[in-house]
Amino acid sequence: MSYLTIRKKLIAAFSLVALVPVAVICAVTVVKVNTISEANFVDSTTRELKQLDNAMVQFADMVKTSAGYVAARPELKGADRSVLSYLPGAPAHSADPEKEGAVNGAIYRSLTGVQVSNNAFYEVFFGTRWGGFVSSNKGALPPGYDPRKRDWYQVAVEKGVPSVTPAYQSVTGSGTMSGVISVVAPAFDPSGALVGVTGIDVPLTNLTKMVLDIKIGKRGFAMLAQEDGTILANPKTPETNFKKMSELDHPVFQTLDRMSEGRVELEKDGVAYYACVYTSPGLGWKYVGVIEKEEVMASGHKMVVAVVAIGVVLLALFVGVAFLISNAIIRPINRTSEMLRDIAEGEGDLTRRLEVVSNDELGILATWFNAFVEKIHAIIRELSQHAEKVTGAGAELSELSDEMSGGAREMNELAGGVTRSAEEMSAVMTSVAASSEQTATNVNTVAAATEEMRSTIAEIAERSEKARGVTSDMVDQAHGARANMDALGQAAAEIGKVTETITEISEQTNLLALNATIEAARAGEAGKGFAVVAGEIKALAAQTAEATGEIRSRINGVQSSSAQSVEGISRISTVIEEVSELVGAIAAAVEEQSVSTGEIAENLAQASAGLQEVNGQVARSSGVAEEIARDMGSVSNSAHRLTDGSGAVHDRSEDLSRLAGGLNAVVGQFKV
């Protein structure tokens, strides 16, 4: 049967004590590491994005300065209606501004000088308020092209200062469409009137290069979008460039479009990403740093693995310590249990004692257990001694009953002989009575009869004396048997007192076990082992009480048998005393008869004169003989009763021997 031992409970408790903190530490570590990893990602990415924004702002400021410089050029301030125009009705002209007059040539050279000063400038252009347009890139524009309707022109006029326009598709230069952003500035004549707007186009490829130079971790990247959500640079998916995030089908872009600041977790193509969004306060552009979540958590995972490994090692150490401590606690308890089991199931060795090796509760338990075993040892040893005495008394009583039975049989035989002699004496008395009528003629016959009567009386006297000796011995033996039975009753009473002491000890042990159980319940989990030991002690106390009850019942049987034996011996003693009195009466009668017979012998010579006296004596002798016969009948009956009483005493002595044997068997279960 499998059950939860104290060792298992202790190991489980220590393991739980170690496991809970380790689990909490691991959980807190995972959360903290994830939080720190995310915070580090946000901090580092925001820092990178701010650096990118600073570079963008510096670049935009530089371009704004260049645009302002161009707008302040006198060539642009002095522009007029002669600037090249592609409006309907405008005069035809070539695509080379230098061939279209001094004004157009001067403007062109000014624009070209700024363009060649910086490789990042894709195109430098100028649009007038009259619809004219000159670009540093020579090339024809579509007919009807009106710069005043373009967004870049309207932004510059609206803001009145150098500004960055939203990205748009450029149609200048080589005539192909390309994505650019423009930095524009209004140009005014000396009177402060608007002359036109100058602008510098920066290709998106330059911005993409700047974004590509930003490293977000090992595999992360940065993305740039303008204020309206149009993606300006996305190195991961270039096909989304120049598209608004709100118009893209994927929810990732829609989520990013709704954000202006902060961190968000995304999933694209089954891969989890972290994205950090930062909006430039100067440009209004949105910078997005994107990195795979796995890369962000990689360093944290290593730390978590290290913490888990440390936790496993700590758990193993705690389990080892728990095993050692549980062994130190369980070893004395196991010794106690083994000793209890040996007493309960084995040879009942009461000579063994527990070794007290500590001063804690287990040491106290071992000390009191040894005291309990010592008490039981003394009681069982005393019981063994009394059992031996009872066995000896039973044997002596059996021998005495056998002797009484033999004496009763002998007394019965003697009584039979006396009865026969009395009958013979009665017959003789009858003959004497018959012969007394012929006294004169039969004196010799009377003398012979008298002589025969004398010898018969002598024999009766001899047998009566023997009967008196036998009855005297029987009286003495009956008194001795009664004294032995009284001693046996006293021994049984002493054994009863011992069993009462055992019962009291069992009750006290039961109470101690109950108190130990209560204290173990108060101690909780740590005290369940004490509850097990208390239960075993309680079971031992119950077994002791049961054995004591059995001993008490056997002692009661001994006392009952002893009482019956005492009563039987008392009856036998009374009968023997009655027999003794009868034998005394017989002896007295025989003595009297002997005297009478002597007188008859002496008075034979005067037989004739004393005939009447002889007849009286004969009559009295006949009566005495009849009385002797009756008394011998009573003696015979008493002898029969004595025989029956001796048999009963023998039976009771055998019962006493069996009870003593049972008591010896019970006591013999213990080794003392």
Q: DSSP alpha helices (H): ranges in 346-437?
A: 361-436
Q: CB–CB of 362/328 below 8 Å?
A: no
* pLDDT tens per residue across span 429-450: 566 567 556 655 655 665 665 5
134 pLDDT band, cuts 50/70/90, is very high
User: Residue 406 has what pLDDT?
Assistant: 75
Q: Say if residue 140's pLDDT is above 80.
A: no
CATH topology of domain 14-196: Beta-Lactamase (3.30.450)
Query: Using 50, 70 and 90 to split pLDDT, how confident is the model at 176?
Result: low
378/112: higher pLDDT: 112
State whether residue 225 is helix, strand or coil.
strand
- Name the DSSP class of 227: T
DSSP one-letter code for 150: S
Cβ(166)–Cβ(122) below 8 Å:
no
Q: Looking at the predicted structure, is the pLDDT value of residue 149 above 90?
A: yes
pLDDT for the residue numbered 4: 64
Q: Which of 144-158, 493-507, 531-545, 553-567 has the highest mean pLDDT?
A: 144-158
Band of the pLDDT at 196, cuts 50, 70, 90?
A: very high
Q: Which of 600, 607, 602 is nearest to 621 (CA)?
A: 600
Q: Are 162 and 185 in contact (CB under 8 A)?
A: yes
Cα dihedral across residues 222, 228, 232, 238: positive or negative: positive
Mean pLDDT, residues 639-645: 72
Selection from 70-84, 165-179, 356-370, 632-646 with the highest mean pLDDT: 70-84
pLDDT tens digits, residue range 202-256? 887 777 788 878 878 788 888 888 888 888 888 788 888 878 888 888 888 888 8
- Per-residue pLDDT tens digits for 391-427: 776 677 677 667 767 766 776 676 676 567 656 756 7
Asked whether the beta carbons of 183 and 209 are under 8 A apart, the reply is: no
pLDDT the model gives residue 42: 78
pLDDT at residue 474 greater than cutoff 80: no
Whether the Cβ atoms of residue 233 and residue 214 lie closer than 8 Å to each other? no
Pair of tokens at residue 555: 């002692």
Nearest residue to 226 (alpha-carbon basis) of 244, 214, 208 = 244
pLDDT of residue 320: 83
Q: What are 344-370's pLDDT values in tens digits?
A: 665 667 677 767 766 776 678 778 777
Q: How far apart (Å, rounded) are the C-alpha atoms in residues 449 and 607?
A: 13
pLDDT at position 479 over 50: yes
Annotated domain spans of the chain:
14-196, 210-296, 362-668
Q: Give the pLDDT mean for 505-527.
A: 74
Two structure tokens written together for 640: 């029969």
CA distance 71 to 123: 15
Structure-model confidence comparison of residues 116 and 519, the more confident one? 116
Between CA 200 and CA 121 the distance in angstroms is 7
The arithmetic mean of pLDDT across residues 637-656, rounded, is 72
pTM of the full structure: 0.45
At 607-627, the pLDDT tens digits run: 556 656 656 765 676 676 577
Instruction: Quote the pLDDT of residue 391.
Output: 74
Domain 362-668 has CATH 3.40.630.30: no
Mean pLDDT of 294-321: 78
Whole-number average pLDDT of the chain: 77
pLDDT score recorded for residue 43: 82
Q: Which contacts qualify for 269-278: CB closer than 8 Å, 24 or more apart? A: 274/38, 274/41, 276/41, 276/42, 276/45, 276/46, 276/49, 278/46, 278/49, 278/50, 278/53
Top pLDDT among 559 and 118 is at: 118
Q: Are 583 and 464 in contact (CB under 8 A)?
A: yes
Fold of 210-296: Beta-Lactamase (3.30.450)
Given this chain, do its domains 14-196 and 210-296 carry the same CATH topology?
yes
pLDDT at position 518, please?
83
173 pLDDT band, cuts 50/70/90, is: very low
The percentage of residues in the chain with a pLDDT greater than 70, rounded to a whole number, is: 70
pLDDT at 654 over 90: no
Q: Within its chain, how far is the Cα of 492 from the centroid?
A: 49
CA pair distance 412, 641, nearest whole angstrom:
10
Nearest to 546 by CA among 669, 444, 388: 669
